[in-house]
Amino acid sequence: MYLLSVEDLTVHFHSRNGIIKAVRNLSFVLDYGETLAIVGESGSGKSVASYSLLDLIPKPPGKIEAGKAIFNGSDLLTLETLDLQKIRGNEIAIIFQDPMSSLNPYLTIGEQLIEPIVYHKKKSRREAKGLALSMLTEVGLNGPDNKFNCFPHELSGGMQQRAMIAMALITKPKLLICDEPTTALDVTTQAQIIRLIQKIQKKYKIAVVFISHDLGVVAGIADKIIVMKDGEAVESGITNDIFYNPKTQYTKKLLSSIPRGEKREKNYTSKKVLLEVNNLVKYYPVNQDTFSWQTFKLFSAKNTEKRYVKAVDDVSFDIKRGEIFGVVGESGCGKSSLGKTILQLTSLDEGQIYFSDKNLVNLPLSEKISMRKHMQMIFQDPYSSLNPRMTVFDTLAEPLLYHSLATSTNIQKHVLSLIDDIGLPRISAKKYPHEFSGGQRQRIAIGRAIATKPEFIIADEPVSALDVTVQAQILELILNLTEKHNMTMMFISHDLSVVRYLADRIAVMQHGKIVELNTTSEIFSSASEKYTKELLGAIPLADPKEEKKRQNTIMSDR
C-alpha cells in the first residue's frame, strides 16, 4: 500500500466571471521515503492540488468537486474537520514559500515550535522546549537558545526558512509538502536548504511532495516528476525520463527555458566609461542585539553608543558605455543598497559617483532630478513597485510628462509605442496592475524604466520570482531593448546562470565589499576567490545525473 494515493482530484473556483478549473483529474501515488516533484508555471494548479489535500483552499470560492486522496488508509477529502486536524501539522506538514508571511510575527520562533508538540504530541512545555532546541540545532541554526527567543523579523530569509522547516519536522511527519521552498533565495542558501531537506528526509524516511516552477532545482532531488499546465498533468514519469526523453511540447518548452549559463553572442565594444564609482560607503544604524547574528562588520561611531552595519563598504568600479555589468552575491551582501545609492535613491556616506563625467554627489537637487531621466531602475517586485491606482497608460505617461519629453497632444503616441516595445497588447493601456500576471507587470515596470530613453538602467533582481519560461521572455526583452536603445545596464542578481548569459563583466559582492571583479568568462572559468567558487559550486545543474554526482561530491567533501 502506498503512503498517499490521489485519484482524479478536481478542484474548481467559483467566481462572478465563471468557473476556474484549477485542478482537473489529477492522479498520482507516493511511497514512503519517496520524492515527487510537481512542476509548472504559476497558475498551473501545483499549490492548489497540494493544499486541497489538507483542506487549505478558501471555501468559497474553492470547492473540491471530485476525487480521492488516500493517506495511510484514510481518505483526506472525506475526513471530518477534527480528524483532519489530527493529521495536518502532525502526520502531514507543509513548508510554505514565503516564511516571512507564513510565520506569526507576534510570536517568537520558540513559541511557534512548541505549539504543535503540545497540541499533537501532548508534551509538557518543558519537554516541548527541549525538542524545539534540538530541532533548531538539527536544521543548522547556530545558537538555538538565541533563535528560540527571536521573532521572525529578526532572522534572515534563509534562517526564517530553516525555522519553518524545523516547525514542519518537529512532529516527525510521514509526508512533507514543500511549496516553492527555495524561490527567491540566493544560490548558496538554496543549495543549503535543499541539502537540509534531503538530509532530514533520509534520516526520518519522510515522503516529500516538492512543488516548484524550476525544473533545474528539482533535477537532483526528485524520484519522479509531474508536469502541470492549466490544472492538468500533461506529463509524468521518473526524473530521468522527464529530463532526457520528454514527450510533450510543454515539457520541452520548460526544459529549454532553464538558464544553463550560455553566454550571449554580443559584447560591448566601447572603452568609454559611462559610470565611475569610487570608494563608495553606505551604512545603516542597527540594533546590536537584533543583528548580532549578522556576519557584517559592525562598528561604533565616535562618542556614541550607536552601531552601524556597512551595507556598501569601500566599493569602486566603472561601467563602460553599452556594457551589461553584473553584480552577484548572497542576500544581504549589499547589492541592492549599492544600486539605490548609485541612483541617489538613498544617500551615501562616503565616496564619489561620476556619471558622464559629472559628479552626482555634488550636484544641486534640481540637477539630480534632471539626471534621473538618464538613469532609471527596474525594481525586483512589480507587485509593490507599480502604483495600484494608476492605469498602464498613466504609469508609462508619468515619466514622459514629468521630464517634458512628451506633451498632452502626443503622449498617446509615445505610450502606445512603449506598450509595443514591451510586448503587451495596446488594450493594456486602460488596465490596472492587478489585472496582469507577474511577468506582464514586470514588462510594465520595464516600460516605465525605458520611457525616458535613459543611458543607464539598474535592474535589481528583475526576474527572481518569475517562472523559468516568463523569466526567459523577460531576459530576452531586456536584451532586445538595451540593444535597440543603446543602453548601459547594471544587472543585480543572485542567479549566476542568468548573469552569465547577460553580463560582460561580473562583480562578486560579500559583506558589502566587491571581493572579485572580472570578465564573465574569467569568473566562470578561473575564479580566484574562495567565495566566488562557492557561489559557482552552488548553482543547480539542470541534469539529474550530473546534479546528483555534484551533490555526492559536496557531501563527501564535508
**Which residues lie below 8 Å from residue 414, measured CB to CB, with a gap of 6+?**
397, 400, 405, 406, 451
Give dist(CA 476, CA 460) in Å, integer: 16
Give dist(CA 197, CA 328) in Å, integer: 25
Question: Can you give the pLDDT at residue 302?
Answer: 52
Helix axes of 157-169 and 125-138: crossing angle, nearest 10 degrees: 130
Give, rounded to a whole angstrom, the gap between the first and last alpha carbons of the chain: 37
Alpha carbon dihedral 275, 280, 286, 288, in 10-degree steps, equals 140
CA nearest neighbour of 35 among 158, 219, 193: 219
Question: Can you give the pLDDT at residue 268?
Answer: 62
Q: What share of the chain is helix, strand, coil (3-state, %, to 5)?
A: 40, 25, 35
Give dist(CA 343, CA 340) in Å, integer: 5
- In sign, the C-alpha dihedral spanning 138, 139, 141, 146 is negative
Question: Can you give the pLDDT at residue 431?
Answer: 92
Largest CA distance in the chain: 74
Question: Can you give the pLDDT at residue 294?
Answer: 46
**Which residues lie below 8 Å from residue 29, measured CB to CB, with a gap of 6+?**
2, 4, 5, 6
At residue 217, the 3 state secondary structure works out as helix
Residue with cell 514591451: 422
Tally the C-alpha atoms within 13 A of residue 154's C-alpha that lie toward its C-beta.
17
SS (H, E, C) 390-438: CCHHHHHHHHHHHCCCCCCCCHHHHHHHHHHHCCCCHHHHHCCHHHCCH
Question: Can you give the pLDDT at residue 292?
Answer: 47
Give dist(CA 315, CA 187) in Å, integer: 23
**Which residues lie below 8 Å from residue 98, measured CB to CB, with a gap of 6+?**
none
In 159-257, beta strands by DSSP E = 175-179, 207-212, 224-229, 232-238
Cβ atoms of residues 453 and 460 within 8 Å: no
CA nearest neighbour of 310 among 345, 281, 348, 289: 281
**Which residues lie below 8 Å from residue 482, measured CB to CB, with a gap of 6+?**
324, 457, 488, 489
At residue 40, the 3 state secondary structure works out as coil
Structural Rg of the chain based on CA atoms: 25
Neighbour order of strands in the sheet with 350-355: 298-300, 307-320, 273-286, 350-355, 358-359
From first to last of the 558 residues of the chain, give the pLDDT tens digit: 899 999 999 999 988 778 989 999 999 999 999 999 999 988 889 999 999 999 999 888 999 999 999 999 999 999 999 999 999 999 999 998 778 788 999 999 999 999 999 999 999 999 999 999 999 999 988 889 999 999 998 887 778 888 999 999 999 999 999 998 887 677 888 888 888 899 889 988 999 999 998 787 899 899 999 999 999 999 999 999 999 999 999 999 888 887 765 666 656 667 899 999 999 999 887 655 444 434 445 555 555 456 677 889 999 999 999 999 999 998 878 899 999 999 999 889 999 999 999 999 988 888 888 888 999 999 887 778 899 999 999 999 999 999 999 998 999 999 999 999 999 999 999 999 988 878 888 999 999 999 999 999 999 988 876 778 888 888 888 888 888 888 999 999 988 888 998 999 999 999 899 999 999 999 999 999 999 998 888 888 888 888 877 766 655 555
The burial class, CB within 10 Å (0-12 / 13-18 / 19+), for 456 is buried
Question: Can you give the pLDDT at residue 556?
Answer: 54
User: Can you give the residue ranges of every domain in the chain?
Assistant: 273-541
SS (H, E, C) 83-115: HHHHHECCCEEEECCCHHHHCCCCCCHHHHHHH
Which CATH fold would you assign to the domain 273-541? Rossmann fold (3.40.50)
